Amino acid sequence: MKIGFLIIGSEVLDGKISDLNTKLLADFLRNHHLQINEALTVRDDSQVIKEGLEKLFRHNEVVVTSGGLGPTKDDLTKETIGDFFQRKLVLNEEAIKISEKNYQQFDRQFPGKSHGYAYLPEGFIPLSNSTGFAPGFTYKEKDKILLSFPGVPREFKSMLQDHFLELCSEKIDSNVLLKHFIVRTKNIPEEKIFGEVDPNLWRKLESFGDVSSLPILMGVDIGVKLKALSQRELMEKEQKLKDIFSQSPISPAIWHIGTESLEEKIIQVANKKKRTFGFAESATGGLCSHRITSVSGSSQSFLGSIICYDENVKINQLGVNRETINTFNVVSPETAIEMAQGLQKQLNLDIAISITGYAGPSGGTTEYPVGSACIGLALKDGTIRAQTLRLKGDREILKQRFSQAALYTLLEELEKFAES
Amino acid sequence: MKIGFLIIGSEVLDGKISDLNTKLLADFLRNHHLQINEALTVRDDSQVIKEGLEKLFRHNEVVVTSGGLGPTKDDLTKETIGDFFQRKLVLNEEAIKISEKNYQQFDRQFPGKSHGYAYLPEGFIPLSNSTGFAPGFTYKEKDKILLSFPGVPREFKSMLQDHFLELCSEKIDSNVLLKHFIVRTKNIPEEKIFGEVDPNLWRKLESFGDVSSLPILMGVDIGVKLKALSQRELMEKEQKLKDIFSQSPISPAIWHIGTESLEEKIIQVANKKKRTFGFAESATGGLCSHRITSVSGSSQSFLGSIICYDENVKINQLGVNRETINTFNVVSPETAIEMAQGLQKQLNLDIAISITGYAGPSGGTTEYPVGSACIGLALKDGTIRAQTLRLKGDREILKQRFSQAALYTLLEELEKFAES
């Protein structure tokens, strides 16, 4: 089943928002062994929307649209798609019922026939929206299926979950098992992995399926798309791939096999090993803690953090010596270690990680220019350590990269603990 | 000048990453009174890439591509675009020089002719990359301009800044001034704004240019696209729009006129009024602090935060009474107030904001189910206050919405202070 995605929204092309729905759709489809074939983002303009539908239906049996279903005049999707299929807007009793239900969720009353939501192109079927006001809709013609959902990611996601499988059931081939086999590596540039480190790796992997290489934050994800006709065949292929990677010189750089994020992996390991941790965050300003607490179940091992942006917070809340800062600099291994030690003691943690650095654009010293950071570590058993990083990027990228380095350090340390 | 954007990367369509480059390109273009006409995301497949180029060049004079320029075999962009223009790959001396320079930045040596970066389709011009290894390239044919940049957002952004204007200078019409006039509102659903609250607003705005309405996190951005031939005309139009909004019943819901984010606005106001603040974050787990510290200059007014995920951190670090938690619940106005008071005192802040809530998926009580949060406030003068929210969404959305509510509260409070 080929699926095209039409993102309707000038706001995406104007940079007012980033499109999050492609990822939501892709994630949903992957769980059902499906994928997006192509995605097109267009402005709120009838002619352009119609050309987009035309293009996508040329190559795809199913077209999902997001956006333009709201109550305001720039929301053209419904009329335009009706027009595309040469269907006129008519009063739709089912749409009224669904709108009433959508409104009730927010303790509001649907105005009824006077409201645009009561109308749909002839033959279109309205779809309930469990997280918003606007109904979605679907339409089938010959072997083509159209699905239109709102653009707000929360609503897009819930409608996808509520309706997609049922509406496309006839098209889903459940015989072929697809799996993205993902190996996540750190600290070796893509350039080197397939160059001097393991020049034959790509060729070896290719015999199992399409290979991809994706540089992410301070690491590279290597992917192989596996196809199999049975769970057993799939598992055998996975095992063979694991063997290839474990024998490759890049093996020490692999921190995970699977699609889990770094923060998810950390919580898995920490919860399994019953170890507690927290951060003393200066340069990352809360990003490490935010990433960790985005994982459900994080409260079991993440106890808390101190965000010590101001020097006095480092001194008063973490017990860093003012002399250490004055002698060695606020960004220095010495300060980082005292921050981690202070946090470890204050919160009685198994692992305390600290980050002090210059994210720019201003600040920095000759020895520690913008892009420098020190990651400190203090364990309950008294172990202390610090490393210094010198990275590139703007403020946002540096925050991301500093946090990535801090989380890599945390994971390495967690892996060393025995299971309890 | 019409600009099409071709995003080349199966990784986006597979949900492995979200496309950030559309927003980077849109933001860059907006600053130069330009915009993206349409964007197409395609898989790493020569045939599909060529069809995408064909489609985009049909409607656009300039096509920017991102992705597929790396050193691995799934990076097909260069060969494919060469093929599209019927140009063969040839050794390019300039590409070698540029690659050498790119490699030097990372203290590495470019292997020379043996490396793919040394080759470009005939007649293509290589472009230096100040943040990565892979050179970009450009090609002009008749009145069509192609620009190809790497997909890594950091590299995409720097190449855009380094090369775009120079390469497209002949096509930029600098006579017409364009401006997105943006009014940012909070806490009234889009449904209501243009319905019962101000039914004539849309029509009034429309006479100034294209109107758009964009629901964002707990608010709606209303936009009007202004065109003018002089700064004076632009300013007059802006003033008239401001008058319309100040007379509208939605006026109290407006928190900003302009494109600044909530966190940028907070730092502007706090720095101007010389007020300090910080957060006691439980449910948001560092997100408030992360958002604030993403703004350059935040260190002037943001001193620090305590992320108190664990109950003992609330008690030991913030001085919340265990009895308060036991009597009223950990998510309650009473606990939220003690958290804010504790933080205010600890860090000697002008404004302390606390957030305690249930982001789910598990947890919650009958009185405070998942989606409930209490925002507490404590000022240096002893003022205390708390509000309770009941919102919907999954864990990530709830964290975002709780943080938005906390930042709205902070901004309201900052606005009350006189300038110092």
Question: Which of A 343-382 lie inside 8 A of B, CB atoms?
Answer: 346-347, 360-362
Q: Is pLDDT above 70 for A206?
A: yes
Q: Look-up: residue for tokens 């606390």?
A: B354
Q: Is pLDDT above 90 for A173?
A: no
CATH code of domain A177-257: 3.30.70.2860
Average pLDDT over residues A278-298: 98
Q: Is pLDDT above 90 for B293?
A: yes
Q: Which CATH architecture has domain B262-416?
A: Alpha-Beta Complex (3.90)
* pLDDT band, very low/low/confident/very high, at A174 (cuts 50, 70, 90): low
* pLDDT band, very low/low/confident/very high, at B361 (cuts 50, 70, 90): very high
Whether B149 and chain A come into contact, CB under 8 Å, resolves to: no
Phi-psi region of B345 (alpha: psi -120 to 50; beta: other; left: phi over 0): alpha
- Token code pair at residue A48: 């352009």
- Which pLDDT score is estimated for A148? 97
- Token code pair at residue A13: 């092309």
- ipTM attached to this prediction: 0.86
Average pLDDT over residues B292-320: 97
Least Cα separation, residue A18 to chain B (angstroms): 6
| pLDDT tens digits along A230-267 | 999 999 999 999 999 999 999 999 999 998 999 999 99
Question: Which of A 227-266 lie inside 8 A of B, CB atoms?
Answer: none
- Which pLDDT score is estimated for B202? 95
Q: Is the dihedral of CA B250, B255, B256, B260 positive or negative?
A: negative
Residue A190 to residue B42, Cβ atoms within 8 A? no
Of A18, A22, A38, the CB nearest to B42: A38
Q: Is pLDDT above 90 for B169?
A: no
Question: Which of A 46-85 lie inside 8 A of B, CB atoms?
Answer: 48, 52, 55, 70-74
Chain A contact set for B23 (CB, 8 A): 12, 15, 17-18
- Which pLDDT score is estimated for B174? 67
- Which pLDDT score is estimated for B55? 94
Residue B309 to residue A293, Cβ atoms within 8 A? yes
Q: Is the dihedral of CA B212, B215, B216, B220 positive or negative?
A: positive
* Percent of chain B's residues with pLDDT above 70: 99
- Token code pair at residue A204: 């070896």
Mean pLDDT of chain A: 94
Distance (Å, whole) CA B258 – CA B255: 10
Residue A214 to residue B16, Cβ atoms within 8 A? yes
Whether B190 and chain A come into contact, CB under 8 Å, resolves to: yes
* Percent of chain A's residues with pLDDT above 90: 83
Chain A contact set for B70 (CB, 8 A): 190-191, 213, 215
| pLDDT tens digits along A65-122 | 999 998 888 888 999 999 999 999 999 999 999 999 999 988 889 989 989 999 999 9
Residue B395 to residue A296, Cβ atoms within 8 A? yes
Superfamily of domain A3-171: MoaB/Mog-like domain (3.40.980.10)
Distance (Å, whole) CA B149 – CA B9: 13
Q: Is pLDDT above 80 for A172?
A: no
Residue B26 to residue A48, Cβ atoms within 8 A? no
Whether A161 and chain B come into contact, CB under 8 Å, resolves to: no
- Which pLDDT score is estimated for A234? 93
Task: Evaluate whether A285 touches B290 at the Cβ level (below 8 Å).
Answer: yes
Q: Is pLDDT above 70 for A319?
A: yes
- Which pLDDT score is estimated for A31? 81
Question: Which of A 112-131 lie inside 8 A of B, CB atoms?
Answer: 131
CATH topology agreement for domains A177-257 and A262-416: no
Residue B306 to residue A303, Cβ atoms within 8 A? no
Question: Which of B 289-318 lie inside 8 A of A, CB atoms?
Answer: 289-290, 292-294, 296, 298-299, 302-310, 312-313, 316-317
SS (H, E, C) B73-131: CCCCHHHHHHHHCCCCEEECHHHHHHHHHHHHCCCCCCCHHHCHHHEEECCCEEECCCC
Average pLDDT over residues B138-162: 94
- Which pLDDT score is estimated for A32? 83
C-alpha pair distances (Å), B381 with each of A313, A363, B349, B408, B417: 21, 33, 10, 20, 12
Task: Evaluate whether B268 touches B297 at the Cβ level (below 8 Å).
Answer: no
| pLDDT tens digits along B70-120 | 888 888 899 999 999 999 999 999 999 999 999 998 888 998 998 999 999
| pLDDT tens digits along A342-374 | 999 999 999 999 999 999 999 999 999 999 999
The residue ranking higher by pLDDT, A178 or A333, is: A333
- Token code pair at residue A268: 């898995």
Q: Is the dihedral of CA A314, A318, A321, A327 positive or negative?
A: negative
Residue A73 to residue B211, Cβ atoms within 8 A? yes
- Which pLDDT score is estimated for B176? 78
* pLDDT band, very low/low/confident/very high, at A280 (cuts 50, 70, 90): very high
Average pLDDT over residues B214-235: 92
The residue ranking higher by pLDDT, A382 or A142, is: A382
Chain A contact set for B277 (CB, 8 A): none
Domain boundaries, chain A: 3-171, 177-257, 262-416
Distance (Å, whole) CA B28 – CA A15: 9
Average pLDDT over residues B233-246: 97
B135 CB neighbour count, 10 Å cutoff: 28
Least Cα separation, residue A27 to chain B (angstroms): 6
- Which pLDDT score is estimated for B414? 98
SS (H, E, C) A23-80: HHHHHHHHHCCCCEEEEEEECCCHHHHHHHHHHHHHHCCEEEEECCCCCCCCCCHHHH
Distance (Å, whole) CA A12 – CA A18: 6
- Which pLDDT score is estimated for B143? 87
Residue B22 to residue A18, Cβ atoms within 8 A? yes
